[in-house]
Amino acid sequence: MLGIVNSGQQPSDEQWQALSPDERELIELLQKEKLTAHAVEFVTGINEDEAWRRLHGNIHTRLPRHTTPVYRMRWLKYAAVVAGLMILGAAAFFLLRKNDRSIPVVAGTYITEPANPKRATLVLANGQRIALDKSPDSKLRQDQTDITNIDTSLLAYNTSATVTKPAGYNTLIVPRGGLYKIQLADGSEVWLNAETRLRYPVHFNGVNKRTVFLESGEAYFKVKKDREKPFIVSAGGMDVTVTGTEFNINTYTNNFATTLAEGAVQVSAGANAAMLKPGEQAILTAGKLSSKEVDVDTYTAWIKGQIIFEETNLEEVMNNLARQYDLTVEFTTPQLKERKFGGRFRKTAQVEDILTAIGKAGNIQFSIKGKTIFVSPAAMQ
């Protein structure tokens, strides 16, 4: 019976005959007074407390005066159930309608959930996968090497100097929105940015060079000096060889870039090679290697908790933010992708505040639906 009343359908003759007298009177009253209008008003913005007050008032003022106390209690019970169903149905409809449209971005109004950067997956040489955020301050032993997950943000390797047999390779995977650091068995430190995969040996004993593989993403290396064992990072056809230094490698785009902060490195790709000095960057594009001077801070600020854009096209800006905040991006107008933007932000800032700043600078409107950012031209004033 309640399903008939709530949906607004008329009961059939058979259904009507099966109802009790007080049920029939309740249906007639609800249809006569059109109480379903209250649900519509609630959906379109009426105050919830006000909706309940008006429903309560209608129910009490329309009760037949001749009813007995028992009849009134039964009547009120049915009315309360129906009213509750209408309000719940209206609320559900309101939420569905709200989730079906994008919401304009406004500074200080936060739609998205902050991403948790302390997330990564360790894949051992035997294929076993360990979710590091689920095992804080845990330890395991592999190839006579102790591996410690410290505060779900640093993975530290410590091996015995007496080990002579080469080790297998582990892989550290950092997802979108994540950030992790690893201390390799030789003491070298590596920061892994969001959406990054690094494959490396459990230890470097029993080998004549230290080779790791940046399979995707971005990483900053602070290499422990060892002239007897050069350190080599292999990244998509580009090899970076050092003995001890600090540098950043970015493979997010088709232009792989190595930026040197300290020391010296040799970057090679096939028959091409370049020696970098601090403040220089080597770029590999379609098999061709080139170098130039750059502002190192622009390319390494991420390990210090900052995001810097320097005359960067909007497509790259948005892709960067999407990685850092675990979101996706859609441009309603493709031409917007080529607009240039520059700015400096904290990685801990809410994405809505960053988008508002970009929007004001570039006359752009952002909106968010679920985990997708929509980029559109700002409406004409």
Q: Following CA atoms 330, 336, 342, 346 in sequence, which dihedral angle do they give, to the nearest 10 degrees?
A: -20
Structure tokens at 62: 């329309």
- How do 129-131 and 231-235 pair as beta strands? unpaired
- pLDDT category at 115 given cuts 50, 70, 90 is confident
> pLDDT: is 8 or 74 the higher one?
74
**In this structure, what token pair is assigned to residue 318?**
């948005």
CATH class of 121-300: mainly beta
* Per-residue pLDDT reduced to its tens digit, 289-305: 999 999 999 999 999 99
Q: Are 256 and 236 in contact (CB under 8 A)?
A: yes
Report pLDDT for 116. Answer: 86
Tell me the two tokens of residue 91: 């609320």
* Cβ-Cβ contacts under 8 Å for 241 (sequence gap 6 or more): 230, 231, 232, 265, 266, 268
What mean pLDDT, rounded, does the chain reach? 83
> Where in the chain are the domains?
2-99, 121-300, 305-377
pLDDT of residue 174: 98
What counts of helices (H) and strands (E) characterise the chain? 9, 25
Q: How many CA atoms lie within 13 A of 211 on its CB side?
A: 13
Q: What is the pLDDT of residue 354?
A: 95
Q: How confident is the model at residue 47 (pLDDT cuts 50, 70, 90)?
A: very low
Percent over 70 (pLDDT), the chain: 73
Domain 305-377 classification at class level: alpha beta
Going 192 to 197 to 203 to 205, the CA torsion angle's sign is negative
**pLDDT per position as a tens digit, 251-289:** 999 999 999 999 999 999 999 999 999 999 999 999 899
Strand 210-216 and strand 372-377: the pairing is unpaired
Check residue 123 and give left, alpha or beta (phi > 0: left; psi -120 to 50: alpha).
beta
Calculate what percentage of the chain has a pLDDT beyond 90: 64
Instruction: Specify the range with the lowest mean pLDDT, choosing from 87-96, 210-219, 329-338.
Output: 87-96
Residue 72 is predicted with a pLDDT of 56
pLDDT tens for 190-243 read: 999 999 999 999 999 999 999 999 999 999 999 999 999 999 999 989 999 999
Q: Residue 204's beta-bridge partner residues?
A: none
Q: Any idea what the Cα angle at residue 248 is, between residues 246 and 254, rounded to 5°?
A: 155
Confidence of residue 332 (pLDDT cuts 50, 70, 90): very high
